[in-house]
């Protein structure tokens, strides 16, 4: 499936620290297009630059427009966001969770727009109606309102996870696990009586095969098993 | 399954804005225990209080200790975090993703410790070895280093999602979908010729049943269908 293009839209952003932090997040999660609708904080301010750190190039790339319609031109799906969701009858504020949006909905579209409102009052109801759906981050019902930049971070993170294959380390191939086990098996036979050895062997195999061991972890374990076996064999010979 | 207790541990936090933001996030995602190991930023500073907003009670609750060992006393699993993961042989820096940690590992433990390092240099290798595993947030390989508070937000969000049942709105029961369809069916028969009507009926049923409609959305749709049918029936009578 084609990886979607993500357009981040901030409506009326007020704080320069937030703007800077969001530019950094846009770089951390490789946002393709960055739109600012009538921003009150300046992308050229020192504060914004400072908090953007190595993401300050996103502030240069930002496209400033006057209203939300302009910012949504050309997207296949526009998702507004809100910390406030509605009661049963307030359908304009019926939302999907950020997870559901990122995992189930966004991958079906090529140009994905995600819209965040002002720190003080969020998005107006009129702005909400311009989106195809509403996205909400579930949190503590006693205090669900995240700072704007943290909400942006979570949604961009969710989209990144969903649009990229995440594998941090090469997993140990079956062969490597077998090698480790083969080094250990004679040691088990040596020190555990026959009756219990079946259990010890099963335990070790279960642990090796279910632990999602990385190849590097497997190498370290194999090295230990090899050294241990050598020591034990020498010991036994000498006795 | 018992919902785990989450202990958030910050080692040597340097920035008061970050400390404030993290306290707010700890409130947003209802962290149970908040430990500060040798903080350089003061939880009593005005800046920290300001950025903590309604989460500033977490700053009062924070337990200040001198070293990581003290902060990890009593947890069942201690997960360190790092923006930097290791090559094949650097096993100390082999990590699981935040998603894998939250979804697959954390739910198996009752007292879950999650440890974040300094803004400048993260956690030392010595500190990393005190944890049971390493957690990493996948991001743009060209600039994967998130601001500390945003990294904290994402991990706490992941834990919240995994330890709580998230359902934002009541889903429409099957009956409600049937009611909507029953209102629409005579309209289809009225305006579409028999040959095509099977297709239109199938399309509408498919859309209704696969769209995860909320009960409120279903009510709004039913209201529309009812009004539309009434108008059409009156129209037809008059002709």
- The answer to whether residue A95 scores a pLDDT higher than 80 is yes
Task: Give the per-residue pLDDT at B22.
Answer: 98
The predicted-structure confidence for A104-163, as pLDDT tens digits, reads as follows 999 999 999 999 999 999 999 999 999 999 999 999 999 999 999 999 999 999 999 999
Cβ-nearest to B150 among A30, A149, A219: A149
Task: Give the per-residue pLDDT at B2.
Answer: 47
Mean pLDDT of B221-239: 89
B173 touches chain A (CB under 8 A): no
Question: Domain B5-163 maps to which CATH number in 3.30.1490.100, 3.40.1280.10, 3.30.230.10, 3.40.640.10?
Answer: 3.40.1280.10
% of chain B beyond a pLDDT of 90: 85
The predicted-structure confidence for B29-38, as pLDDT tens digits, reads as follows 999 999 999 9
How far apart CA A59 and CA A50 sit, in angstroms, is 11
- The answer to whether residue B215 scores a pLDDT higher than 60 is yes
Taking an 8 Å cut-off on Cβ atoms, the answer to whether B166 and A85 are in contact is no
* Length of chain B counted residue by residue: 239
Distance set, CA B207 to CA A54, A130, A189, B178 (Å): 45, 22, 62, 12
B47 touches chain A (CB under 8 A): no
The predicted-structure confidence for A157-209, as pLDDT tens digits, reads as follows 999 999 998 889 999 999 999 999 999 999 999 889 988 999 999 899 999 99
3-state secondary structure A39-82: CCCCCCCHHHHHHHHHHCHHHHHCEEECCHHHHHCCCCEEEEEC
The predicted-structure confidence for A102-112, as pLDDT tens digits, reads as follows 999 999 999 99
- The answer to whether residue A91 scores a pLDDT higher than 70 is yes
What are B72's two structure tokens?
A: 């990890």
Task: Give the per-residue pLDDT at B237.
Answer: 86
What are A173's two structure tokens?
A: 């191939």
A101 touches chain B (CB under 8 A): no
How far apart CA B163 and CA B5 sit, in angstroms, is 9
Identify the closest residue of chain B to A152 by CA–CA distance: B150
How far apart CA A174 and CA A181 sit, in angstroms, is 11
The complex's ipTM works out to 0.89
Task: Give the per-residue pLDDT at B239.
Answer: 77
Which chain B positions have a beta carbon within 8 Å of A169's beta carbon? 85, 88, 94-95
Kindly write down the DSSP assignment for every residue of chain A, as one continuous string. -PPPEEEEEEES---HHHHHHHHHHHHHTT-SEEEEES-SS-TTSHHHHHHHGGGTHHHHHPEEESSHHHHHTT-SEEEEE-S----TT-GGG--EEHHHIIIIIGGG-SEEEEEE-BTTTB--HHHHTTSSEEEE----TTS----HHHHHHHHHHHHHHHHS----SPBPPHHHHHHHHHHHHHHHHHHS-HHHHHHHHHHHHHHHHHS--BHHHHHHHHHHHHHHHHHHHHHHHH-
Task: Give the per-residue pLDDT at B234.
Answer: 86
B105 touches chain A (CB under 8 A): no
Task: Give the per-residue pLDDT at B236.
Answer: 82
Helix (H, G, I), strand (E, B) or coil at B83: coil
* DSSP designation for B12: S
Residue-averaged pLDDT of chain B: 94
The predicted-structure confidence for B88-107, as pLDDT tens digits, reads as follows 889 999 999 999 999 999 99
Query: For tokens 């050309």, what's the residue?
Result: A74
How far apart CA A192 and CA B206 sit, in angstroms, is 62
The predicted-structure confidence for B120-131, as pLDDT tens digits, reads as follows 999 999 999 999
Q: Structural domain boundaries of chain A? A: 5-163, 174-238
A20 touches chain B (CB under 8 A): no
Taking an 8 Å cut-off on Cβ atoms, the answer to whether A219 and B169 are in contact is no
Distance set, CA B209 to CA A60, B126, B178 (Å): 45, 55, 9
Task: Give the per-residue pLDDT at A88.
Answer: 80
Q: pLDDT tier at A239 (50, 70, 90 boundaries)?
A: confident
Instruction: Describe the crossing of helices A16-28 and A148-163 by its angle, rounded to 10 degrees.
Output: 10
Identify the closest residue of chain B to A92 by CA–CA distance: B217
Least confident window among A26-30, B48-52, B183-187, B235-239? B235-239
% of chain B beyond a pLDDT of 70: 99
Mean pLDDT of A15-27: 98
Which chain B positions have a beta carbon within 8 Å of A160's beta carbon? 138-140
% of chain A beyond a pLDDT of 70: 99
What b/e sequence results for A64-101 when a residue is b if at least 16 CB atoms lie within 10 Å of its CB, and e otherwise?
ebeebeebbeebebbbbbbbebbeeeebbbbbbbbbbb
Taking an 8 Å cut-off on Cβ atoms, the answer to whether B160 and A139 are in contact is yes
Size of interface A-B (CB pairs under 8 A): 148
- The answer to whether residue A1 scores a pLDDT higher than 50 is no
A220 touches chain B (CB under 8 A): yes
Q: pLDDT tier at B1 (50, 70, 90 boundaries)?
A: very low
Mean pLDDT of A64-70: 98
- The answer to whether residue A15 scores a pLDDT higher than 80 is yes
Task: Give the per-residue pLDDT at A2.
Answer: 47
Least confident window among A221-225, B173-177, B229-233? B229-233
How far apart CA A116 and CA A13 sit, in angstroms, is 9
B17 touches chain A (CB under 8 A): yes
């Amino acid at each position: 499936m084609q990886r979607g293009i993500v357009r981040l839209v901030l409506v009326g952003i007020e704080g320069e620290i937030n703007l800077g932090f969001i530019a950094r997040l846009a770089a951390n999660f490789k946002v393709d297009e960055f739109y600012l609708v009538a921003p009150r904080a300046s992308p050229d301010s020192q504060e914004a630059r400072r908090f953007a750190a190595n993401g300050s190039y996103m502030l240069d790339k930002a496209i400033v427009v006057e209203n939300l319609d302009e910012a949504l031109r050309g997207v296949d799906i526009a998702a507004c966001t809100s910390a406030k969701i509605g009661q049963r009858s307030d359908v304009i504020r019926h939302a999907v969770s950020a997870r559901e949006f990122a995992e189930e909905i966004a991958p079906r579209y090529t140009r994905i727009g995600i819209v965040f409102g002002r720190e003080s009052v969020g998005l107006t109801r009129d702005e909400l109606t311009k989106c195809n759906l509403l996205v909400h981050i579930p949190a503590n019902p006693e205090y669900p309102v995240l700072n704007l930049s943290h909400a942006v971070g979570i949604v961009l993170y969710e989209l990144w996870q969903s649009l990229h294959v995440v594998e941090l380390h090469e997993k140990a191939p079956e062969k490597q696990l077998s090698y480790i086990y083969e080094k250990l098996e004679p040691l088990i036979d040596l020190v555990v009586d026959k009756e219990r050895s079946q259990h010890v062997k099963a335990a070790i195999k279960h642990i090796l095969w279910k632990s999602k061991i990385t190849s590097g972890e497997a190498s370290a374990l194999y090295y230990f098993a090899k050294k241990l076996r050598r020591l034990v064999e020498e010991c036994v010979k000498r006795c």
